[in-house]
Amino acid sequence: MADTTRITVTLPTEQVAELRKLTDNVSGYVAEAVARQLRHRLLGADLLRHQEEHGSFTEEELAEAHSRIFGATGAEGPANAA
């Protein structure tokens, strides 16, 4: 099991109420959300670094990435994937 550190987080009352409807493990839920956000930021930094080194992604590259992520029959285009 990974090491853990206990912290105090202040959230709006409404968010806490909604969290408790979703899970009885608020700490686990928040840990997953933080991990997802960290991965998102790291991926964004990697994509930016790639574009700085190799230039902007072409429409073809974006379409291929969209197809790999969402499947070849996805109705939305690359610009709407975010």
d(C-alpha 26, C-alpha 38), whole Å: 18
Whether the pTM exceeds 0.95: the reply is no
pLDDT at 71 over 70: yes
Q: Which amino acid is at 14?
A: E
Q: What is the DSSP code string of 17-54? A: HHHHHH-S-HHHHHHHHHHHHHHHHHHHHHHHHHHHHH
The domain locations on the chain are 13-74
**Which has the higher per-residue pLDDT, 18 or 76?**
18
Express each pLDDT in 6-56 by its tens digit: 999 999 999 999 999 999 999 999 999 999 999 999 999 999 999 999 999
pLDDT at 82 over 50: no
pLDDT at 79 over 60: no
